[in-house]
Amino acid sequence: MSHPREEGDSSASPPPDTASPTEDENLLPEVLLRLPARPSSLTRASLVCKRWRNLVADSQFLHRFCAHHREAPIIGVFLDFYRRGLSFSSVLDPPDQIPSQRFSLPLDVVEGGGIWTFRGSRHGRVVLTSGDHLGRGCRQILVWDPVTGERRSISGPPPQLDHDWGKSHVQADVICVAGDEGHVHGACHSSPFKVALVCAEKRVARSCVYSSETDSWGDTIATEVQYNTMSCLGSRSILVGNSLYWFIFGRETGILELDLDTQIPAVVQVPEDAHRGHRGLYLSTLGGGLGFIAMSDNYVAQLWLRTTDFDGADGWMPGHAIELGKFLPLRSGEWTNLQTIMGFAGDDNVIFVSTNRGVFMVYLETMQFKKIFERNPFADCTTSTIHPFISVCAAGNSTPQH
């Protein structure tokens, strides 16, 4: 005998159908947005079905994905072989490893002629300058996005009455202009950018900034450098807030500061006792702001931090010392005498150390390390350099399309 169902009885009617999270039009993008920031993540997601493939290939989604993963990983290094072009080597493990040929750039295929010099990589873009047969000066600039393949060729700043950029020993940097979102650490492929060009010579430092939004250069701005001899700028910079910094090397040592808002260069004094007898000086952000590392003979990296006292006066104080030889897996005598420190990425505080057991990439903040080469790739070319490349969407334009 059946009994009438009472009001509120859960068995009175079947439960309403609920959509799977992967079928929810609004929820699915939020789920995929949180995939790991590895090159294979979106490629794997694209293989699930056509709907997922269309979503991860959408430019708006890719922009959100890049913005969400603001702290992007180092996916590889550029090896700058002097006058022979850029060679890329992935530092990721399978399945995220990127083929070397995908991001390599033979400089003889770049239009414009001259001697092309790698200047740096930031926010997913690479900047190079072309000078005379000695590599001096800046006649042409190339801004290259290895992920999308986009190249932007820019003529150097026009000569001024008192200065010709085509005859200067220059350094250059590319910076993402990310609007209200601020600078994206990893990449901003579709965002406008700036190129900062600087030089320091004959007791004067100069700067000039290009904007992709206006496709034009700003004014060349000069500031006096209080050094007794001609100076030159270090090849590596760091970005702290909205200012770029380079070392100034000469009879005295200082740091050139370029405020990207005012575009006015200034000089930061460095105490001589902070770097006396050093075996390499490297700009660093280990303390959260402007700093530098002085390397000693026994592979100790001494950190120095810029400080401000109660009266607003700037100064320097020593930070902690990092003994590289204590945590790398090396035995006595396994340091090579050639290019022991191959390079340093100050924004990310990563140092590249060459030893007789291979080349190590060392993260100074976490003391973690990874062997990236079994032998020094520059053993026969000591004038070459190594630079890390950071990007979130390394597989962005390789997502399978069917």
60-110 pLDDT, tens per residue? 787 788 777 766 788 899 987 766 667 899 998 888 888 888 887 766 555
pLDDT band at 305 (very low <50, low <70, confident <90, very high): very high
Q: Which of 250, 323, 255, 318 minimizes the C-alpha distance to 283? A: 255
pLDDT at residue 182 in the model: 41
Query: Cα 91 to the chain's mean position, in Å?
Result: 15
Q: Is the model's pTM score more than 0.85?
A: no
pLDDT band at 183 (very low <50, low <70, confident <90, very high): very low
143-177 pLDDT, tens per residue? 998 888 888 999 988 877 678 888 888 999 999 88
* Domain ranges for the chain: 22-398
- DSSP per position, 360-399: EEEETTTTEEEEEESS-TTTT-TT-EEEEEE-S-TTGGG-
User: In 93-127, which positions are buried (b, 16+ CB within 10 angstroms) versus exposed (e)?
Assistant: eeebebeeebbebebeebeeebbbbbbbbbbbbbb
Whether residue 14 is predicted with pLDDT greater than 60 in this model: the reply is no
Neighbours of 206 (CB within 10 A): 23
Distance between the two ends of the chain, CA-based, in angstroms? 59
Assigned architecture for domain 22-398: 6 Propeller (2.120)
pLDDT at residue 272 in the model: 81
Peptide bond into 95 cis (omega under 30): yes
196-221 pLDDT, tens per residue? 999 988 788 899 999 999 999 999 99
Do 206 and 163 contact (CB within 8 A), yes or no? yes
Whether residue 298 is predicted with pLDDT greater than 50 in this model: the reply is yes
